[in-house]
Chains A and B, each alone.
Chain A
């Protein structure tokens, strides 16, 4: 029973790290999409771009000044940056998120290895109990 509790606890921790990994991945993909959009806007010229307004709806829009980007840089602060600087910032952020992903994944691997170890011990305990005829029906 005790080992089952350990396993459950490790499982809960692993779940938290999996969620964090997912959040980092979402952030990374979002930043990639933003870079793609920012770079595309520079070459759009007079054409319109599709602006998503939520609920799957989009409108055609003209970006008045694609050279200037309002960017949330952290600490709930938004600053205006030139398009290229914003792209550089997002690329740096992606690198940061990838580094964090690596760290979280390593921790997750360690947790999983510990869970495997506990599983083996539970299994071996079960086998021994079976051999001794103590396993409840």
Chain B
């Protein structure tokens, strides 16, 4: 998963470490032969913004001579950061998320004191880890949410066509059932031919109760019945499938508005495919604006080597990523844990 991004980040990380070490060498030589020249220790180039943590000339010389520490300057990292920016954009990481990552890495590196001999790579990895964690957000613990809310917890799944909504509903149903929750599925996609049969097959395989009407029926009525069923049987969770739709189709979006009014979901989950990259981010933003979204699920993450959507979506739309779909089987769904993803991106395959 996200192998391409991982390789590119490794290259960017090596470039950053290399440029900091090169900067150190220049600074160190200067201190041994003569007082460091302004050129070697300048922490603020005219073209780059002055950060509050950027150390002054006197302080840098003092640190270098007394404490044998090196200070990372803006100049040391400028080129490598610019390269990192390109790397992220090429991996389809949205511009606002890229900007946030670069600003965070810069903030965490520039002005950083480092003992001579201390690992530069650890410093760089730390800065990258912190930047990625900031952008990825906290994730969304569905189990905890269900435990702390009134039952039944009603979850409405929305998204565009063909991204794997119905399969995701089945996978989440399997996941919740495995975790000991009682689940009912509402076959709210009454529009697409075969959709009701598809979700019914999943439900039967998983041993989950399904509420369904005829093809072409009002999805609001189906999902209302599903909630009624869950309430009367004291079930924990309602998973409401809906037909795929594009956010610019007014009539379909107003139908979704009606479904929301009728079933009053606790959570609206937007489902899209990771391979759509920045398009997924844009669509999630539009859906959130139109009908709202509380969390996001990205499917087909195993097919996505760039990782752009997964990295940017939480930061760009301000809603947490809940699950990643990573295969065909029912248990091929991973709760999104930012720390784990960052570990995989920075350490995996190293």
- Residues of A near any B CB (own CB < 8 A): 2, 5-6, 8-9, 12-13, 16, 19-20, 73-77, 79, 89, 96, 99-100, 103-104, 107, 110-111
Contact = CB atoms under 8 A, between A and B. Distances in A.
Contacts of B275: 20, 100
B162 A8 contact: no
24 contacts: A5-B200, A6-B201, A8-B194, A8-B198, A9-B201, A20-B303, A73-B86, A74-B91, A74-B92, A74-B93, A74-B306, A75-B88, A75-B277, A77-B95, A79-B86, A79-B89, A96-B4, A96-B306, A99-B4, A99-B305, A100-B275, A100-B305, A107-B328, A111-B328
Contacts of A19: 162
Nearest to B4: A96
A11 to B, nearest CB: 9
Given A77-B95, A110-B328, A2 B89 contact: no
Dominant secondary structure of chain B at its interface with chain A: helix
Interface of B: 4, 86, 88-95, 98, 162, 167, 194, 197-198, 200-201, 204, 275, 277-278, 282, 302-303, 305-306, 308, 312, 328
B101 to A, nearest CB: 12
Contacts of B277: 74-75
Contact of B162 (A16, A79, A103, A111): A16
Contacts of A75: 88-89, 92-95, 98, 277-278, 308, 312
Nearest to A99: B305
Determine the main DSSP class of A at the interface with B.
helix
Contact of A74 (B167, B198, B201, B278): B278
Contacts, number: 68
Given A16-B162, A96-B4, A74 B305 contact: no
A74 B89 CA distance: 6
A130 B89 CA distance: 61
A126 B305 CA distance: 43
A70 B88 CA distance: 18
B256 to A, nearest CB: 22
B201 A73 contact: no
Nearest to B91: A74
Contact of A77 (B89, B167, B197): B89
Nearest to A74: B92
A121 B93 CA distance: 46
B70 to A, nearest CB: 33
A12 B196 CA distance: 13
A96 B95 CA distance: 21
**What are the nearest 8 A-B pairs in CB distance?**
A74-B92, A5-B201, A75-B278, A77-B89, A75-B89, A73-B90, A74-B90, A9-B198
Nearest to A104: B303
Looking at A19, A76, A89, the one whose CB has the most chain B CB atoms below 10 A away is A76
A115 B95 CA distance: 42
A89 to B, nearest CB: 8
B164 to A, nearest CB: 8
Contacts of B282: 76
Contacts of B86: 73, 79
Contact of B201 (A2, A13, A103): A2
B89 A12 contact: no
Contacts of B306: 74, 96
Given A74-B91, A77-B95, A110-B328, A5 B308 contact: no
